[in-house]
Amino acid sequence: MAVVGLPLRRIAALCLLLAACDPGEPNAEARSEPPPSAPVRAAEFDAGPIKTATEYLLEPELASADASRGEVLGLACAACHRFRAEEGTLIGPHLQGVFGRKAASVEGFAYSSALRDSGLVWTPRSLEAWLANPAGFVEGTTMAFTGYRGVQDRRDLIAYLLRATQ
């Protein structure tokens, strides 16, 4: 059965995603952070060292992350991105090998000049800043996603992406 062209399984997954991000849930304050006084900008950002996925996953904030929950949160990414290069691109570029890669470097994808000129390298640290507020982090980006407010949401998603994009 499909509703407005979406299979029931996809609708259920999207409902789980929305429930996982509901700011009204009891522990929402534990996953949220107060808005920064000024947005973090890519131009003045230190992405930190480039490591392997295994090394990143040993860092305390990612070692304690829930990658299974991150997989559910990743459904929002999957609406526009594929996790494997052989799956091609959708609205956004594929994410395979994203960690350690220079931003706007997937061959054949038309990136915004803002992202091309950002000088960003994708690490868990830079991706966490990006996922908090893409348009604020790289002003002029064409990515329409508004971001995840919760720190733990971002870390759970990054823990999942470290595994899914290898």
Q: How many domains does the chain have?
A: 1
Q: Assess contact for 106 and 82: CB atoms under 8 A.
A: no
Report yes or no on 4 lying in a domain.
no
Distance from C-alpha of 55 to C-alpha of 118, rounded to nearest angstrom: 25
Looking up residue 110, the CATH number of its domain turns out to be 1.10.760.10
Report yes or no on 9 lying in a domain.
no
Q: Assess contact for 89 and 109: CB atoms under 8 A.
A: yes
Report yes or no on 23 lying in a domain.
no
Give percent of the chain above pLDDT 70: 77
Report yes or no on 35 lying in a domain.
no
Examine the pLDDT at 72 and tell me if it is beyond 50: yes
Domain containing 114 equals: 40-164
Q: Assess contact for 41 and 139: CB atoms under 8 A.
A: yes
Report yes or no on 45 lying in a domain.
yes
Report yes or no on 26 lying in a domain.
no
Report yes or no on 82 lying in a domain.
yes
**Who's near 121: CB < 8 A, 6+ residues apart?**
47, 50, 100, 101, 102, 103
- The model carries a pTM of 0.77
Tokens describing residue 26: 């009891």
Span 92-110, pLDDT tens digits = 999 999 999 999 999 999 9
